[in-house]
Amino acid sequence: THKMGETVDTLERCCVSLSVNPSRGLMDEKFIILVQKALPGFQLTIHASYHCEDGNSWEAFAHYTADAGGTVNVSQDTSLGGTYSGVEAMGLLWSLRPVPGSKPGLRLRKKNVQTPMEVTISVYQGHQTEGFVDQVPLASVLVERWYMAPGVCRIPITEEGLTATLFVPAGNGPFPGLLDLWGGGGPLVEYRAALLASHGIASLALNYLTPKTTMETGKMVDNQYFEKAYKFLQQHPQICDSRIAMLGLSLGSAFTLKMAVYSQVMKLRCVVCIGGSHVQPVDGSVEQVLGYMEKNSEKTRFTENNEMIWRDLLLPIPTDPSFKVDVGRLKCPLMLVVSEDDQNWPAPESAKDMKEMMERAGNSHLLTVLSYPNAGHLIEPPYTPHVRISMFRTVVMALWGGQMVEHSRAQEDAWKKILIFLRENLYDIKRNVRAEIKNTYFSSR
Amino acid sequence: MWSKCRWSTVMFSFLHRRSSVMSQTPPIVSVLPTRGLVDEKFKVLVENLPPGRPVTVRSLHHSDNGHYWEAFGFYTSDHRGTVNVSKDQSVGGTYTGKEPMGLLWSMCPVPGSHKGLRLRKLNMCSPMLVNISVHSGHEGFRDGAPLASVLVERWYMAPGVKRIDVQEKGLLGTLFLPPGPGPFPGILDLWGGGGGLVEYRSALLASHGFATMSLDYLSCGQPVFTYVETAFNFIKDHPQVIADRVGVVGLCLGSLPALYLAADSTVVKVVKQITSPLLLVSGCDDQNWPSFETAEDINQTMRAAGNDHLLSRLDYPDSGHLIEPPFSPHFRASTFVTTNKRKAMILWGGKTKPHSDAQEDSWRKILSFLQQHLCCSLNAKL
């Protein structure tokens, strides 16, 4: 036991120190992982471990060698191997993967955003690749990663027949507002809206596929449902009624673009679409849009592992204008986030077509396209792990695409630029001021 | 989480649509980090103000025992409409000059409060909530609602630190264990004559990697020195503590048992007189204990005994008695309940700015001293 006198092992345990700063951060903040007081040239493995709400375990690890001062600084030093390599300050988060023996097709998504993601960061002796659970680390710390900043309020909304969750930043307001639409993947996901509220934007995560009314009556919502959500934001006492944006991912982009162009009620300040397309029956309801895709489902392709590729369902981009939202009529700035290895939606082709439509119409000055080589469909807030495939609605395995490193860089870059875009349009903040805000950690040490 | 929503509702109870500001957006105040340890610095930034506008940046805290504390600085936005508290000069308020942490250490009870209040966190498992807000104007800043605000958490306990009630061997204490497998260097934390179980310094030391126990040694009804030895043994023998790496931190009255353990106690085996390294921290304007004179006397005694190489001293001019962890507010006097249950106003001494600088400087040096003597590097050992 440790009490049996001074062994070298005990001294090593005493000596190697591990710190992660900040120990409590937002999901999109960087941290600095520092190992100190090791022997110079000491080989060590830094390991991250996370136990999901759904009971699955994820891990990441990287191999380092302590420098002449006995220090490893993950933000500055090179990982020699592991789940990532090279100089990667946040690699221990974005390279997290299910532990060996896990079910295939898992995806890491936080359901309860009122508690933090708790990640254990540990240091092990030597360059190890497995069996971490059976060993005692030299040191370990717990790190909290939050979707909600202190003071952000989470409010479930059920009025007007809406099923949604509103996140309001701390303080009086008034705040700019945002309507947040997810994709076809399942129940309401709140984390992006929570994170946006942590950045000063009152955000409404709207359930438009499985809201209470649909679950009770079996009928899908009509297009007025989105307008009701917009009016709800407009009338909220803490929200600026003239500063409301809309953000859609995947299927959510389809309805975002439709409402942005055609709604007489919604006067949006700006629009962001991630991994989406303008191709749809423009007069169609939610049900009809889904039906259109269903009709084309024979275009589904399969990988050799039977994973479904859905990007062809909307291809080729139609020439018939009744099947694509006329973005030439858009009156507010539009940001398209496009992954070039998107295997789920034809985002690159759609973006190209939208650009041409806007150039012809003379409003292409409103368009910003962010295009990322080797990124897959699911562009999430930064530092969340990339998955190339996962179970879709617990029934089939979908291929999303993307390679881990490029996808993770795309998530980080896109989020930064989405925040700048939203702030510029919702707050009128000049870009050069915004650039001063860095998510670096400031310490008294 | 309930407390945070309720906080917003209580403090900003007049939520109304201000149609006059529909066309202009309010300023944004942001603090990094929003969740930090109490000894960590933060950066406070206000943006989207009109340029050249006088504003007040204010902090507000509702203490565990129900009082309101505040600090504020007067600033003017620059040509880009920003105020950066870490870089800009406050021209008035509870602090002046370039003071990144002034919004914490210069806090005082809000107007109308009782006299002689002291700010101390009682519950370690929840953070200190501080509301940072920006207001229009300087002298009359309270007349209007805040333009924007943000909530900041300040923690004594890092994530993963465990708090354990200790009630064995007749001891009454609280043990804080750092996260990780251990074993850890240990610390016995002895507070002063105010009595009770004061946990915050122990929690903070555990957040820095020391297994730390705070001890109530005044209400135990036993001879203090024996009791303190039992506590020291408890820590030393704990399976997650490295037995020969245990130190003692004492404040005020607690310094006496600490010195006893370092010198005459037979528990610390190889000690005769003082043979372990000793750090004395004194406020030169200490109106409660003659701490500077005491330190001088100890210094002379040790010089005569030939062991003054073990002694380090930190003496702070214009600092008072209560040298607390950094950024805690300074108060020159506060009410104190004496042993015969009488309330008195005790003068602790010190001037706010030098005292706050002393807290920041001494904490850094205390941590460094503890790390140097309790966690030596492998290099030095071999």
- Tens digits of residue pLDDT in B294-343: 888 888 888 888 888 888 999 999 888 888 889 988 878 887 776 677 77
Say yes or no for a CB contact (<8 Å) between A22 and B33: yes
Q: Of B155, B179, B208, which residue is a domain's last? A: B155
Q: Which of B34, B181, B379 lies closest to A70 in CB terms? A: B379
| Residue B84 shares a structural domain with residue B111 | yes
Q: In terms of domains, do B283 and B147 share one?
A: no
* Rounded Cα–Cα distance for residues A177 and A430 (Å): 19
How far is the C-alpha of B282 from the C-alpha of B298, rounded, in Å? 12
Same structural domain, B181 and B106: no
Domain count, chain B: 2
Closest by CA to A279, choosing from A255, A248, A245, A254, is A254
Active-site choice (A198, A342, A350, A390):
A342
Closest by Cβ to B42, choosing from A17, A172, A442: A442
A33 beta partners: A20
Q: From A37, A28, A132, select the one nearest A90 (Cα to Cα).
A: A28
Residue B65 domain-assigned (yes or no):
yes
- Which of B135, B155, B175 lies at the terminal end of a domain, its last residue? B155
Same structural domain for residues B118 and B215? no
Residues in chain B within 8 Å Cβ distance of A148: 1
- Among B91, B123, B155, give the residue marking a domain's end: B155
| Closest CA relative to residue A423, chosen from B34, B47, B3, B137 | B47
Task: Kindly list the residues from chain A whose CB atom is less than 8 angstroms away from the CB atom of residue B186.
Answer: none
CB contact under 8 A, B1 and A149: no
Q: A444, B158: Cβ pair inside 8 Å?
A: no
Given the cut 0.90, state whether the ipTM is greater than it: no
Q: Cβ of B183 and A14 within 8 Å?
A: yes
* Rg over CA atoms, chain A: 23
For A146, A202, B277, the CA distances from A25, given in Å and listed in that order, are 6, 20, 37
| Per-residue pLDDT at B65 | 86
Residues B317, B202: one domain? Answer: yes
A140 touches chain B (CB under 8 A): yes
For testing the chain A interface, which of B38, B135, B150, B381 should be mutated: the one with the most A CBs within 10 Å? B150
List pLDDT tens digits, range B352-377.
Answer: 999 999 999 999 999 999 988 888 55
Report chain B residues whose CB lies below 8 A from the CB of A22.
33, 35-36, 40
pLDDT tens sequence across B151-202: 999 999 999 999 999 999 889 999 999 999 989 999 999 876 666 778 999 9
Q: Are residues B257 and B350 in the same domain?
A: yes
Whether residues B101 and B193 share a domain: the answer is: no
In this predicted structure, the answer to whether residue B382 has a pLDDT above a threshold of 50 is: no
CATH, residue B47: 2.60.40.2240
Q: Where in chain A is the domain with CATH 2.60.40.2240?
A: 17-146
| Residues of chain A positioned with their CB less than 8 A from the CB of B39 | 444
What are the φ/ψ torsions at residue B216 (nearest 5 degrees)?
-90, 100
Does domain A153-442 correspond to CATH entry 3.40.50.1820?
Answer: yes
Q: Are A54 and A44 in contact (CB under 8 A)?
A: no
Give the tens place of pLDDT for each residue, B12-68. Answer: 433 333 433 434 678 999 999 999 999 999 999 999 999 999 999 999 999 988 999
**Residues in chain A within 8 Å Cβ distance of B5:** 153
My answer on whether B223 and B329 are in the same domain is yes
The whole-angstrom separation of Cα B333 and Cα B171 is 31
Which residues in chain A touch residue B127, judged by CB atoms under 8 angstroms apart? 150
- The mean pLDDT values, 10 residues at a time, for chain A of 445 residues are 43 75 95 95 97 95 96 98 97 97 92 97 96 94 98 96 96 93 87 97 96 94 96 96 96 97 97 97 94 93 93 95 96 97 96 97 96 96 93 87 96 96 84 40 29
Measured between alpha carbons, how far is A327 from A350 in angstroms, rounded to an integer? 11
Nearest CA distance, A108 vs chain B (angstrom):
22
The answer to whether residue B276 scores a pLDDT higher than 90 is no
Contact B378 A38 (CB under 8 A): yes
What per-residue confidence (pLDDT) applies to B176? Answer: 97
- Is the same domain home to B135 and B233? no
Tell me if B331 is assigned to some domain.
yes
How many A/B residue pairs have CB atoms within 8 Å?
189
Any B CB within 8 A of A143 CB: yes
CB of B134 closer than 8 Å to CB of B150: no
pLDDT at A421: 96
Catalytic residues of B: 252, 286, 321
A342 is catalytic: yes
Domain annotation covers residue B5: no
Do residues A244 and A263 touch, judged by C-beta distance below 8 A? no
Q: From the list B35, B152, B184, which residue is nearest A22 (CB)?
A: B35
CATH number, domain containing residue B333: 3.40.50.1820
CATH fold of A17-146 reads Immunoglobulin-like (2.60.40)
Enclosing domain of residue B42 = 28-155
Do residues B133 and B260 share a domain?
Answer: no
Q: Are A179 and A192 in contact (CB under 8 A)?
A: no
**Would you say residue B13 lies in a domain?**
no
Among the partner-chain residues B32, B150, B179, the one whose CB lies closest to the CB of A151 is B150
Q: Quick check: is B315 in a domain? A: yes
Shortest distance, CA A168 to any CA of chain B (angstroms): 10
Quick one: B79 and B177 in the same domain? no
Interchain CB distance below 8 Å, B381 and A11: yes
Are B222 and B115 within one domain? Answer: no
- Residue B246 contacts by C-beta under 8 Å, 6 or more apart in sequence? B185, B186, B187, B188, B232, B235, B236, B374
Answer yes or no: do A24 and B36 touch at CB < 8 A. Answer: yes
Q: Using alpha carbons only, give the angle A96, A102, A106 rounded to the nearest 5 degrees.
A: 60
The residues of chain A that CATH labels 3.40.50.1820 are: 153-442
